[in-house]
Amino acid sequence: MKVKKFILSCLAAVAVFGLSAQEAEKTENVFVPHWYVQGQFGAQYTLGEVSFGKLMAPNAQLSFGRQFGEVLGARFGINAWQSKAGQADYRWAWNYVAPSLDATFNLSNAVCGYNPDRLFSLSAIAGLGVNVTLGNTQANNFNNDLKSFHSTTGNFPGDALEYLWNGTKAFMNAHVGLAGDFRITDNLSAGIEVQAVALSDKYNSKKAGNADWYFNALAGVEYCFGKTHEHRVVETPRPVEDIINEYVEKKMQPMQEEMEALKKEVEETKAAQEQVVAEAAAAAAKEAAVFQREVFFTIGSHEVSPAEMSKIDEVVAALQQNPEAQVKVIGYSDALTGGIIANRRHSKLRANAVAEDLIEKGVDETRISLSYKGSSEQPFAENDKNRVVICIVK
């Protein structure tokens, strides 16, 4: 017996555990829009005829951005420092500041789905900006030196750099890039970014007949403000049977209400018909079995007046038509006139007067039942009508 109880207890525990596991709430990570700031340092390479290492320049970028959704974001950045160009064995450098507005696309979330705990995320960047340049002294010196060198031969009239500029200039740029971020915490990440930037042919002062290009390689950190994601309880999907039943019930409810109203109307009609039939039957039974007349008297009077004598005749006629019938003669007095004893005497005298008139008109005394109530009972609401004798033929 103990073994049986133990086995049943184990089965119950397993069932409860399974039910609890099914009913356990599930959660998912939900993206939260947020702002961020990003600082980066690196190097820039300008595309040109000079060897790769000789056109490297320092580069820095500071950005402020907003991640609107799991994939799409935007940022405003300021890229700045130095660009370089060269010709033959001579090179020159100048400074610039390039504010830009970029759209960012998180490729990892777009392809693999949102995962705030992902260690590495890859994003694409595209945008427009303006390179505000200054300090082109080295290019101007090179141009002047080259002009002086060739001036003696007369073979090189004019500027060596056809797109040479001075002072401060502004050049529109279009750029694309890729960024890889390594998650450190929910709010902090470290990353690298590469950019390809296209500008006017005049940017490096040389005329080449095509756009000028430079490439940035940057490394830095990004800090996000506030929550970047939160946990949300996932509702357990409802059984298909419940959804179908709810739909059917919703569709059937107006019809059911109409049926209930119709049923109620039928029941009320049936009850009304039954009541009419019952009242008609009661009225017919009363008409067949009961004949009643009220003989009224004036105050203090005990004799039937000529006006009321016709009612005596009607009672006599009813008794003649129903030989087996009896007549009850009941006397009353009004309560507002006289005392109890006097009223009882008045009701008795009135009942006797009616009974004597019936006997005089041929009614057998044995068919008359005589009684009197005085003012203890009032058959009418109107006081004066209670000076009456009621004759009931049954």
State which of 197, 218, 233 marks the end of a domain: 233
Q: What pLDDT sits at residue 186? A: 94
**Same structural domain, 95 and 187:** yes
Helix axes 340-360, 306-321, angle to 10 degrees: 60
Residues 175 and 195 sit within 8 Å (Cβ to Cβ): yes
**Same structural domain, 311 and 227:** no
Q: What pLDDT sits at residue 225? A: 97
Taking only Cα atoms into account, the Rg of the chain, rounded to an integer number of angstroms, comes to 59
In a domain, 139, yes or no: yes
Q: What pLDDT sits at residue 249? A: 82
CATH of the domain at 135: 2.40.160.20
**Same structural domain, 191 and 317:** no
**Same structural domain, 218 and 366:** no
**Same structural domain, 172 and 316:** no
How many structural domains comprise the chain?
A: 2
Residues 52 and 215 sit within 8 Å (Cβ to Cβ): no
In a domain, 83, yes or no: yes
**Same structural domain, 225 and 83:** yes
Mean pLDDT split into 10-residue runs, the chain, 394 residues: 50 45 67 97 89 88 97 98 87 95 97 95 98 92 78 61 91 98 97 97 91 96 96 77 82 83 87 76 57 90 89 91 92 89 90 91 91 91 91 93
In a domain, 302, yes or no: yes
In a domain, 72, yes or no: yes
How many whole angstroms separate alpha carbon 343 and alpha carbon 340? Answer: 5
**Same structural domain, 182 and 311:** no
In a domain, 3, yes or no: no
CATH of the domain at 352: 3.30.1330.60
**Same structural domain, 180 and 300:** no
Q: What pLDDT sits at residue 169? A: 94
Residues 355 and 340 sit within 8 Å (Cβ to Cβ): no
In a domain, 118, yes or no: yes
**Same structural domain, 298 and 211:** no
**Same structural domain, 221 and 108:** yes
Boundaries of domain holding 381: 289-393
pTM of the predicted model, to two decimals? 0.55
Rounded to the nearest 5°, which phi and psi values hold at 214?
-140, 160
**Same structural domain, 99 and 172:** yes
**Same structural domain, 184 and 90:** yes
In a domain, 101, yes or no: yes
Residue 158's region, left for phi above 0, alpha for psi from -120 to 50, else beta, is left
